[in-house]
Structure 1
């Protein structure tokens, strides 16, 4: 287990020990291998049901008013919803804590993110037009800093600020997960952020193509706007498909460029939190200065090691794409993609199962306001950048 995993799980155990003011601290439920196996059966069973629902709901509702919406609902929606439902049932029966050892959110997420790197070919990014790269860098920087500032203005916890800013400015679920590993955020904060991503991303699939058509935007500007503003890659693909083939191409390039910057943001967050927390965390008042051996060791301990796996997988995929025939490589990448989806499905189910409802009460309405305001800023800045950078783009 890495230092990051240990610290995160330690924070989780500390969070589980928290109770309402005045309430006695409950004794921890005894864990046993049988309960852990039972918990794994629940996690994998719910994940399998997610796959069934993802395919069955659109087919069953085809031709109805809900059919178009059902096609755009991503697997994390079902995974988190089923995790919440399982949480409620297991809590009512009093066995959720006994099964808690099976709800390995961090483990499943890190597998999924490393495999996600294999789907991002840096050669594609390198060949992408300069405007796509420039828009991604500028939009991530502006939206991240605004969200961070506005959340701080409302007094939100730094870790939650990091999750909200990362999810809004980069790529939704995956960015929030990477940020959570970097800053050692609580699982409840990650679940809350993931829920906000879902709530805001699904309507955007239809809203942005409609607004682009209403404003008479060109296909390239439309695609750049969609790719830069909708949080999740799957929702970007869906919205691009609604807008047309050419907008879909540009939207995909911009979103892939943003995804490629995920590791960079995770590293910067790790650096910021390591330097910021170091003085307060040194009981002797002798916190290491940045750049000396102690600070570098602390930075390495807090660095999310899965980011290296993410970057390495992307590099390997890029090299293989240039050296192997597509007929040989694509089946293997498809297999990696299927495992990635399974791992992230297990992770999001586990998040729902581990979720503590007190986090919503503690966070209140402020994170929702931050997400809403920052989304509007993202839309306005994204449209301005897309209009300037892609106005002369031709296919």
Structure 2
């Protein structure tokens, strides 16, 4: 929930800063996709800047999501075998249960829409997806997450260190990601 509490203001603030700084849509989209932590907020913030920024933000965020799943999988295997209890080792079932399934969804959807459909059909499906249902579903997603948020628990005094460490890391992420996005995409 803290991630969402931070992502919602960033969804509005970063596009405003990108416009104010005169950043190109390519750089801004990459910056948004690499900085904002929730996919829905990335899409919405990219949309505020334009179609190009939206496309770049979604591509960067999708790549980040896939790589995050792979990295989590590799790290979990490494730490499982590095542990002190040599009698207990992870089974395929445990790894499958803990594997983030959304990564497979992104991969399958990408493969299906890249190879199974003609480009014209993909454009038609995009028009349908970009209709009124998209905004409604994004709104419902944010409302549902908000209903699940317990602010009293998040902002307890014993959580202050965690909150400040997250906010500090997020601040560094905003700056470093802007620099990297500018270096990679400013030539467009």
TM more than 0.5: yes
- Alignment partners' CA distance in 2, 1:252 and 1:311: 14
Contact (CA 8 Å) 2:65, 2:103: kept in 1 or not?
no
Once residues 96 and 105 of structure 2 are traced to their aligned partners in structure 1, the CA distance between those partners, rounded to angstroms, is 15
1:268 to 1:361, Cα distance in 2 relative to 1, 3 A: farther
Structure 2: how far apart are the matches of 1:319 and 1:387? 29
Question: Displacement, 1:306?
Answer: 5.7
Q: Distance in 2 between matches of 1:308 and 1:370?
A: 25
Matches within 5 A, 1:7-46: none
Deviations 1:224-265 (A, max 9, x none): 111111111111122112222222221121111112223213
Post-superposition CA distance 1:5-60 (Å, at most 9, x none):
xxxxxxxxxxxxxxxxxxxxxxxxxxxxxxxxxxxxxxxxxxxxxxxxxxxxxxxx
Give the one of 19, 43, 46 matched to 1:213: 19
**Residues 242, 308 of structure 1: alpha-carbon distance in 2 compared, 3 angstrom cutoff:** closer
- Following superposition of structure 1 onto structure 2, how do residues 289-368 of structure 1 map, counting pairs within 5 Å? 297-298=89-90, 300=92, 302-305=94-97, 307=99, 309-321=101-113, 322-324=115-117, 326=121, 361=156, 363-368=158-163
For residues 272 and 359 of structure 1, what CA distance do their matches in structure 2 show? Answer: 31
Q: Which of 367, 384, 387 lines up with 2:179 in the alignment?
A: 384
Looking at CA atoms only, which structure, 1 or 2, has the larger radius of gyration?
A: 1
Give TM-score, length-normalised by structure 2.
Answer: 0.72
Matched, 1:370 2:162: no
* Offset from partner CA, 1:335-371 (integer Å, 9 cap, x none): xxx9x99xx89x958965xx7x667647420111011
Count of residues in correspondence between the two structures: 172
Q: Distance in 2 between matches of 1:257 and 1:198?
A: 20
Q: 1:320 to 1:222 in 2, by over 3 A?
A: closer
- Give the distance between the partners of 1:234 and 1:358, measured in 2 at CA: 24
Q: Secondary structure at the residue paired with 1:209?
A: helix
| Deviation of 1:270 (Å) | 1.9
Distance 2:24 2:147 in 1: 42
Structure 1 position 269, deviation (Å): 3.9
Which blocks of at least 5 consecutive residues in structure 2 are unaligned? none
Where does residue 63 of structure 2 map in the other structure?
A: 257
Kept after mapping to 2: 8 A contact 1:274/1:302: no
Distance 2:52 2:19 in 1: 14
Question: 5+ residue gaps in structure 1?
Answer: 1-194, 280-286, 289-293
In the alignment, is the contact (CA less than 8 A) between 2:2 and 2:154 conserved in 1? Answer: no
| 1:104-143 paired onto structure 2 within 5 Å | none
* Change beyond 3 A, Cα 1:301–1:351: farther
Rounded to whole Å, the distance in 2 between the matches of 1:266 and 1:384 is 25
TM-score between the two structures when normalised by the length of structure 1: 0.37
**Alpha carbons of 1:231 and 1:392: their partners in 2 closer, same or farther (altered >3 Å)?**
same
Q: Please report how far the alpha carbon of residue 379 of structure 1 lies from its aligned counterpart in structure 2 after TM superposition.
A: 0.7
Q: Distance in 2 between matches of 1:308 and 1:368?
A: 25
In 1, Cα distance between equivalents of 2:73 and 2:14: 31
Match of 2:34 among 206, 225, 228: 228
How many angstroms apart in 2 are the aligned matches of 1:320 and 1:330? 13
